[in-house]
Amino acid sequence: MNRNIASVLAITAAVFAGNALADDITIDNTPFVGGKTRAEVQVELAQFKRAGTSPWSTQYNPLAKFKSTKSRADVVAEYTAARDEVAALNGEDSGSAYLAQFAGRQVSPTTTLAGQPHTAQ
């Protein structure tokens, strides 16, 4: 009995141990039609090189030239004001109890939820 099971397993392993071969190369004969002329692409390349930053560089820092329009105090005040709302929306009930408080009322404009806002008619 054990010999039969072992031989079936050995045969099955031999069957599935075959080589996996890739399919043939697919050749697409559709000619490429670009949306820009060669001159336009070369102008864009020159502008890119003059900019001096490459998003594909390992040293690229997207925040190097960032300048905030808000002060630190403004950001801290916004965070403090929204802290309770964020905690409620991230709670165990995913904010359903918090949102139930606003049933039948207009939700504050600072709350952004998925979907279209409900308008009373």
**H helices, E strands: number in the chain:** 4, 0
Task: Compute the distance between CA of residue 62 and CA of residue 69 in angstroms, rounded to an integer.
Answer: 17
**Tokens representing residue 57 in the block:** 């560089």
Band of residue 108 on the pLDDT scale cut at 50, 70, 90: low
Is 0.75 topped by the overall pTM? no
Residues 107 and 81 sit within 8 Å (Cβ to Cβ): no
| Distance from C-alpha of 18 to C-alpha of 16, rounded to nearest angstrom | 5
In the predicted structure, residue 2 carries a pLDDT above the cut 90: no
Q: Give per-residue pLDDT as tens, 27-70.
A: 888 988 889 999 999 999 999 888 877 778 888 888 888 888 99
Residue 52's pLDDT is 77
Longest distance between any two alpha carbons in the chain, whole Å: 80
The model's pLDDT over 73-86, given as tens digits with 9 standing for 90+, comes to 999 999 998 888 88
